[in-house]
Structure 1
């Protein structure tokens, strides 16, 4: 389970890294309209080009990734590829059997969230799964949507996967739960936005994101923000006092313009200093204070020591000449040495 999840995340990451934006800084995007040049005096008059839809205002950026992809079905009555040709006049139909299904296989791992399926529906439950081809099971994790149909009708099923979350896989499986019946599918569309756009209709651009790349469903920037912007979608402008538009989340500047400081760079530095010299002034002040404290400490130590010495009388030796006496041979001088020792004053 964990290996499968890690594998899908890695494939998704590599897919994002190798994609390029189809939109430019001026919010215009590559055209996917039916007519992209001068169309009777108008630009992009409709979004009915095969494989694309969306809004004409930004060049039809909603891609049908199921268009002309490989298809399979449980049994063959008609060609299963009819379900992905975007022609409502053709359809795919299985034989009458238990739990019939049709499968669409992509050429690579995809993230799937929005689909539109047209069915000739009978009574019973219909399920849509998004799964990886390495997993043969249809389980809860791969279940995108379910609908209970109580009458025979032409069903146009507009789908957003459960919990409004995208599911990763390389296959779409549509299954009808029945003891005996057929599955008739006219059209299967799976929508993704071209790189650089997002939203249900892919009508929003992420030109403030780095390289104009964002998540096609949420609009969250993939590589971070361009200078001057911040937020998940990089849609909040940095304060004007931030240097080079550099700021982080919470409206905090990472660098200030000269003359300003503070987390919002809205505090004016006094005129006798500048933002470039302020750090050096702080360093000099701290070092000067430490030097002053050291000097006072040393002077106090030596003065105290000198006073202690003055209060102590050193041990001295005094030689006193008492006199000389004459002997039979010569005069001998006798010296008497007095030791006064140490006397406290």
Structure 2
């Protein structure tokens, strides 16, 4: 039987003991024992940090939490507390987290604090993944409601405003563009028709 297979520097042919350290994941004089979960060190005599992600242990040699931290902690050994504004979790490498928008439906607690994406959509009047874009004030409807994902105004635009999000004004952008000319002609025809009816 070869007892030297897990030695990093070979072994003594007479004793069968390793000359140096063991390969990663092994310990003991013959390097034939493996570290139990949640222990590290040359002889697996030290406990992994208590804030390593539960059940995943740590690096056998360094004690670093290689599989992440429990919620609320960050650092190589998960020795630091996340900032209070991160709510529950933060990036292991630098402790940062995304500040959630107050426009998330349910408030800033209702978003993924690592990406900033709102989990339940936006409060009325806002749209987009992070709910930071405001619906156009020229949407037709109560409280300038728009689609919370796309910003599209479902009931159309006020007069002299166009595009699906009602963010372009005919008089402000290009008053002679085909879109505005068509819109104005249609609008004027309606006005003329209404005027004619009042004389009958």
Give the number of the structure with larger relative contact order, counting CA–CA contacts within 8 Å between residues 6 or more apart.
1
Between Structure 1 and Structure 2, the one with more strand by share is 1
TM-score of the two chains, using structure 2 as the length reference: 0.43
